[in-house]
Structure 1
Amino acid sequence: MPARRKAAAVAAVGIAPLALTALAPAAAHGSMGDPVSRVSQCYAEGPESPTSDACEAAVAAGGTQALYDWNGVRIGDAGGRHQELIPDGKLCSADNEAFKGLDLARADWPATSVSSGSYTFRYRVTAPHKGTFKVYVTKDGYDPTQPLAWDDLDLANPVATATDPVASGGFYTFSGTLPERSGKQLLYAVWQRSDSPEAFYSCSDVTFGGDAATVAPSASAPSEEQIEDGTDKSTVEHHGHGDDDAGTSAEPAAAPEAPVANRPKAAGATGNLAETGGDTSTPYLVMGGAGVLALGAAILFASPRRRAVSGGRHGR
């Protein structure tokens, strides 16, 4: 192949992956806000000086960074293979070493007081995408002092299932029904995206039949101010609305960018997608279109050059 044609071909091949990458969807991020997840609770207490014994132990085990990355407990290539990829004893961390403090088996995790019957779940989201939420509750006889295993969950009867709920005010809100239980229990939430194999996980400690403070400290979610203040310390690959590589894990990025928390917007302004419930497809189509145009330009550029060279040779 002549040198000029070879160069043009290489340029076209090099640009094509960029166009395809630009079309790829970005990663979502979040964690259960009500009932409060363990990682959200500990982040609300303050990563540098948590107030509860359980969160203090979690920091001692895994460090403070996991709490600043509260919205990144995920597996990039889960694709519904949750039980296959996450071993017993590591459900709350999704088998991510960075979040191992969340797997500590102890009865004093701050808990949300609940009762059997209808319940409105609120999932705090910082980058919304289509997908399905499933929330499971532990079975009767659950012992919080033992490592959480898949068999501890009533997987056959999720207490809530929601597909493509609309994000509003920074939360996905959906309804479920809590069964009869007593004492300390745990709710395990799985958010499996439908536009990517990525999935998110969270553990929320709850107490049935009484004040949570009688069993463990009451749980509380982080405020908007706390979320905003911690964004510059987050290493979750978020890039505004998500991660361009859904196959990566929630481990710190080499060149991290802070997640964008939901901020109040002026009337008429374009808000964060988590506030508007908007669709993220348009930016990726625009980016993809730019990549395709670039590819077309490379091909068009190569064509006249090829004709010019060809004409020159015939004239010799």
Structure 2
Amino acid sequence: MRKKIGAAVVGLAVAGTTLLATGSASSHGYTDSPISRQKLCANGTVTNCGNIQWEPQSVEGPKGFPAAGPANGQICAGGNGQFAQLDNPRGGAWPTTKVNSGQSYSFRWQFTARHRTTDFKYYITKNGWNPSNPLTRADLDPQPFLTIPYGGQQPPATLSHSGNLPAKSGRHLILAVWTVHDTANAFYACSDVQF
């Protein structure tokens, strides 16, 4: 009888651990238009990315950006050390998406866990920023160029919304921030673009 109870307890512990592990691995979201650094790592375009290649949807950190959130130099990884490769500027050589200054652009998110959402905000680097350095708040225009309020709703598995890109030229970085409504976190995605 003791062996059966012991085996049942071990079985439940293994099942519970498996459930927790798969629950955390199937979470959250990322941008694929413009393509984010985490998606470039996941699809093999960029190599030597560490764990982010298997979890492009997991770049989660504290919300409240720019007043709070990840520390300077850790923004692209959401302050998450296991994804620090996203903060590595790679000498300014991340692949870029071509975009047009002042024109409408369709931003697209892919979600693996559809959290209730406060909003989506998009920031862009200032003219003259140095793409060879890790991203800091001082590199970004202080206000988002696009904010999409979402009123606590749950997004679909894929969500696109459009907005006008600011007047820029040359290489820039767009920081997308998805603010979760009912947790203390947000998701971060950095996309390198060429105007």
TM norm structure 2: 0.77
**1:181 shift after superposition:** 1.0
User: Cα deviation per residue 1:182-223 (whole Å; 9 max; x = unaligned)?
Assistant: 111000011111122221001001000xxxxxxxxxxxxxxx
Who is 1:214 aligned against? none
Cα distance between partner residues in 1 of 2:65 and 2:108: 24
Which AA in structure 1 matches 2:130?
D
C-alpha contact 2:41 2:52 (8 A) present in aligned 1: no
SS in 2 for 1:33: strand
What is the Cα deviation at residue 90 of structure 1? Answer: 1.0
User: Which of 103, 116, 119 is equivalent to 1:130?
Assistant: 116
Superposed CA RMSD in Å reads 2.1
Is the CA contact 1:31–1:125 (under 8 Å) kept in the aligned structure 2?
yes
The answer for the alignment partner of 2:191 in structure 1 is 204
Rate the CA distance shift 1:197–1:41 in 2: closer, same or farther, 3 A: same
Is 1:118 the counterpart of 2:118? The answer is no
* Residues 128-277 of structure 1 mapped to structure 2, 5 A cutoff: 128-131=114-117, 132-156=119-143, 158-164=144-150, 167-168=155-156, 170-208=157-195
CA contact (8 A) 2:37 2:190 kept: yes
Q: How many residues align?
A: 166
The letter for the 2-side match of 1:181 is K
- Corresponding residue of 1:239: none
Q: Secondary structure at the match of 1:102?
A: helix
1:67 CA drift (Å): 1.3
1:40 alignment partner, SS class:
helix
Shift of 1:129: 2.4
CA distance in 1, matches of 2:38, 2:139: 20
Amino acid at match of 1:133: F
Which AA in structure 1 matches 2:29? Answer: G
The residue type equivalent to 1:95 in the other structure is G
> In structure 2, what is the equivalent of residue 96 of structure 1?
80
Q: Does structure 1 residue 40 correspond to structure 2 residue 39?
A: yes
Which contiguous aligned blocks of 4+ residues in structure 1 show a shift greater than 2 angstroms? 81-85, 163-168
The alpha-carbon deviation at position 166 of structure 1 amounts to 6.8
Q: CA deviation at 1:176?
A: 1.4
More strand by share: 2
State the distance in 2 between where 1:171 and 1:146 align. Answer: 32
Greater shift, 191-200 or 159-168, is seen at 159-168
Deviation at 1:108, TM superposition (A): 1.2
SS at match of 1:127: coil
Distance 2:179 2:105 in 1: 21
- TM-score normalised according to structure 1 size: 0.49
Q: Any stretches of 5+ residues in structure 2 without a counterpart?
A: 1-23
Q: Specify whether residues 173 and 145 from structure 1 end up closer, same or farther in structure 2 by C-alpha distance, changes over 3 A only.
A: same
Q: Distance in 2 between matches of 1:205 and 1:129?
A: 26
Letter in 1 for 2:39: S
